[in-house]
A and B are shown apart, each in its own frame.
Chain A
């Protein structure tokens, strides 16, 4: 590279960082003049491919290849700054082992085939299975990385064409409890607040969320806020000491599962000490209780239906009586005085409180309950809906919200919060889809865990997995891996961009296009929908998953469901009819090309920052203040739930004395199929290690970087012990990341799930440790 070009790029790099810091005048080279000398690079916008934050990226292309990326300075999410994963956005597309041709299984081998051969085989297996065993013998399993168009087409084909509710997504493993939490408390999915709360709040309670590693850009917004405002406090409630704990003002460790007791104890203190807001409660809240001792879904075909009953404030108060700070302290290990102090902090009239959580709450056998319980604190104190004081569930995938939740790619769902069980919802859907309403089955079939149980039993014969890696990520993995290869008519199709632990089990592997190799749209955790155009070609013969789904439809005779000449735009315009007038309004497609995303509801071209709040939400009329208008049966009020503490299904005992928690690390995203391709990432965090407490290690004679054998009732794995890593286990706990395809830790996990959400708990099962 010429010196002048180098100097120019260095100046551009500094100018971009300065601009992100809000300074453009110090540097002679303004971003405008930088645009004048781009060296042949053209730029396009896209949301980041990785987590659910939805950071804006500018992608620089030259000669058909991505040669540069910038954090988008116009993006309100990340304001010109990306996290370290931004270094890998382009590299993950250019791994040497990208899948570029369809593969068909011939005995033990996967052999290259043409698209026509692969699709003809897939279509024939679908037809055969449907004819012999009915439509519920075929299924599709997607993810929160599906674009909105891909998820929509899959739902339309399976529910509206084939006539089965066998569609699920991996978001069931990560966000389902957040959904059922929102639905049971507010009767509408997704948050009332938005990321602006991170700048406007001054008291941040994190519940089992390692934001510094898993949502670094959002965590930086809180840190920036604290830098400017010394009164800002960050409280990290967690079962593991992390980089987040180090940067928080308080780290409050608690024993797994006892978040239920802690939240009830804080509600107890708030009411006992008269810190609640009676006027808010009177105007905006009803109280309910549901069934207790609700089980854990450990048996196949487990079914649960809650029976909510209205109760009054007195009954709720009675329910809270046993949850004294002392009782919660004995369960959780958090000192009673700390519980009282932090309950007072939640309720402090001078404090704007934001609660944030992700998998610690959602991957929980009582995930719906624990979501309900955190809303209780905000509803008791009236700290909700207004700027700077909201509860917010963060998401782990770029379109867990936009695709799986909003399009509704779950067995029971239809777009815009509608469900297959409701005849009016089926009618509306059928009308938009141009089909007979009888086509959509009236009963949900299987949620994710049950779908793979059904595949193992052979009730599902043909399963298509797109944009995800279930045979690495599922809990109690060995059962499902063995099930997939049982034969007897089972047929597995996997679409992906790299070989994975799922493609190795497949009968057909389809090579997919990724990210800016196709046109797409994602929806992030703050209701922001972001669109991008295709910027580069996919490698070899790789194709968009949207094309793949529509091609199967055509071959099965459902081509008329997809009569599009510009599929993305036409799907969008069809899809947005579902939310129109339902407070889930979306803008015309062109608007998203112009904006750095828009937060729904978008009414008359204007996005909504705060739902249910007068002056912000167009569905709240003048004089109404706050109105939870989606909950009509409860007279437009939100629900405070009496939900008890109940233990986890499997707790440490003499034989298996430790808690195992699995999760993510900064350098690797989910099952590592993209980040695992990048050599520098592999080196930074080469293999999954077992984080353990030094005292526990010493008792077992295990040294730092020595080998430890971790065994649960379901499986066993030898790992390197890490006593001094950036994450530190509390005594009696171990943590292992699940990205490593060579160390399938989720095989040790129990496939117990929340009976209401169907979401499994990856954070709690019992293991024993031995020196290896």
Chain B
């Protein structure tokens, strides 16, 4: 199962609502809530396809400005 770490940047006023929506996604953990509307998110999924779908869904959440990838491991694929 691939694992990735992403940094999500949100509109500051909408950050906590966005964090809730993001943590409701399957296999997604909001690891930290930082200043300036930033969230550290860890994604675990069955395959890269599902990871990307989760990232696309995050992008569509109200208040999310960007989703950027810091780390991606797919060693057991």
Which A residues contact B (CB, under 8 angstroms)?
Answer: 1, 6, 9-10, 12-21, 23, 26, 39, 41, 60, 62, 67-71, 80-84, 86-88, 90-91, 212, 216-217, 219-220, 223-224, 227-228, 247, 678-681, 683-684
| CB pair A17 B6 closer than 8 Å | yes
| CB pair B76 A1 closer than 8 Å | yes
Determine whether B25 belongs to the interface, using a CB cutoff of 8 Å to chain A: no
| CB pair B75 A39 closer than 8 Å | yes
| CB pair B68 A220 closer than 8 Å | yes
Q: Chain A contacts of B51 at CB under 8 A? A: 87
Given contacts A12-B5, A81-B68, contact A680 B55 (CB under 8 A): no
Q: Chain B contacts of A71 at CB under 8 A? A: 68-71
Smallest Cβ-Cβ distance to A1: which chain B residue? B76
| CB pair A680 B52 closer than 8 Å | yes
Question: A576 to B74, alpha carbons, bound, how many Å?
Answer: 39
1/0 contact trace for B4-20 toward A, CB 8 Å? Answer: 11110100100000000
Determine whether B24 belongs to the interface, using a CB cutoff of 8 Å to chain A: no
1/0 contact trace for B63-75 toward A, CB 8 Å? Answer: 0011111111111
Contact with A14, one of B12, B32, B36 (Cβ below 8 angstroms): B32
Q: A6-B3, A80-B70, A228-B36 are in contact. List 7 more A-B contacts (CB 8 A).
A: A13-B43, A13-B72, A68-B73, A84-B69, A679-B49, A680-B52, A684-B53
Question: A39 to B3, alpha carbons, bound, how many Å?
Answer: 15
Per DSSP, chain B at the interface is strand
Q: Shortest CB–CB separation between residue B29 and chain A, in angstroms?
A: 8
Q: Shortest CB–CB separation between residue B2 and chain A, in angstroms?
A: 9
| CB pair A227 B36 closer than 8 Å | yes
Most buried by B among A15, A60, A81, A82: A81
Determine whether B21 belongs to the interface, using a CB cutoff of 8 Å to chain A: no
Which B residues contact A (CB, under 8 angstroms)?
Answer: 1, 3-7, 9, 12, 29, 31-32, 34, 36-38, 40-44, 47-53, 55-56, 65-76
Question: A680 to B53, alpha carbons, bound, how many Å?
Answer: 8
Per DSSP, chain A at the interface is helix
Q: Shortest CB–CB separation between residue A42 and chain B, in angstroms?
A: 13
Question: A723 to B51, alpha carbons, bound, how many Å?
Answer: 27
Q: Shortest CB–CB separation between residue A321 and chain B, in angstroms?
A: 42
Q: Chain B contacts of A227 at CB under 8 A? A: 9, 12, 36-37
| CB pair A13 B73 closer than 8 Å | yes
Q: Chain A contacts of B74 at CB under 8 A? A: 67-68, 90
| CB pair A223 B66 closer than 8 Å | yes
Most buried by B among A90, A224, A227: A227
Q: Shortest CB–CB separation between residue A674 and chain B, in angstroms?
A: 15
Smallest Cβ-Cβ distance to A22: which chain B residue? B34
| CB pair B70 A70 closer than 8 Å | yes
Question: A386 to B3, alpha carbons, bound, how many Å?
Answer: 42
Smallest Cβ-Cβ distance to A23: which chain B residue? B34
Q: Chain B contacts of A62 at CB under 8 A? A: 75
Q: Chain B contacts of A216 at CB under 8 A? A: 66, 68
Q: Chain B contacts of A223 at CB under 8 A? A: 9, 65-66
Q: Shortest CB–CB separation between residue B13 and chain A, in angstroms?
A: 12
Given contacts A12-B71, A60-B73, A84-B69, contact A17 B40 (CB under 8 A): yes
Q: Chain A contacts of B4 at CB under 8 A? A: 13, 87
| CB pair B49 A17 closer than 8 Å | no
Contact with B49, one of A12, A19, A86, A680 (Cβ below 8 angstroms): A680
| CB pair B71 A17 closer than 8 Å | yes
Q: Give the top 4 A-B pairs by smallest Cβ distance, nearest first.
A: A13-B5, A680-B49, A16-B71, A81-B68
Given contacts A17-B40, A224-B9, A681-B52, contact A217 B72 (CB under 8 A): no
| CB pair A684 B69 closer than 8 Å | no
Contact with B73, one of A67, A80, A82 (Cβ below 8 angstroms): A67
| CB pair A20 B9 closer than 8 Å | no
Q: Chain B contacts of A680 at CB under 8 A? A: 47-50, 52-53
Smallest Cβ-Cβ distance to A228: which chain B residue? B36
Given contacts A13-B73, A81-B70, contact A18 B36 (CB under 8 A): no
> Would you mind naming 27 contact pairs between A and B with Cβ atoms under 8 Å apart?
A1-B1, A1-B75, A10-B3, A10-B29, A13-B3, A13-B42, A13-B70, A14-B31, A14-B40, A16-B71, A17-B5, A17-B6, A18-B32, A20-B70, A21-B38, A23-B34, A68-B72, A81-B70, A82-B70, A83-B68, A84-B56, A88-B48, A217-B68, A223-B9, A224-B9, A247-B65, A683-B49
Q: Shortest CB–CB separation between residue A659 and chain B, in angstroms?
A: 28
Q: Shortest CB–CB separation between residue B72 and chain A, in angstroms?
A: 5
Question: A26 to B71, alpha carbons, bound, how many Å?
Answer: 18
| CB pair A84 B38 closer than 8 Å | no
| CB pair B40 A86 closer than 8 Å | no
Q: Chain A contacts of B44 at CB under 8 A? A: 10
Q: Shortest CB–CB separation between residue A86 and chain B, in angstroms?
A: 4
Q: Chain A contacts of B32 at CB under 8 A? A: 14, 18, 23, 26
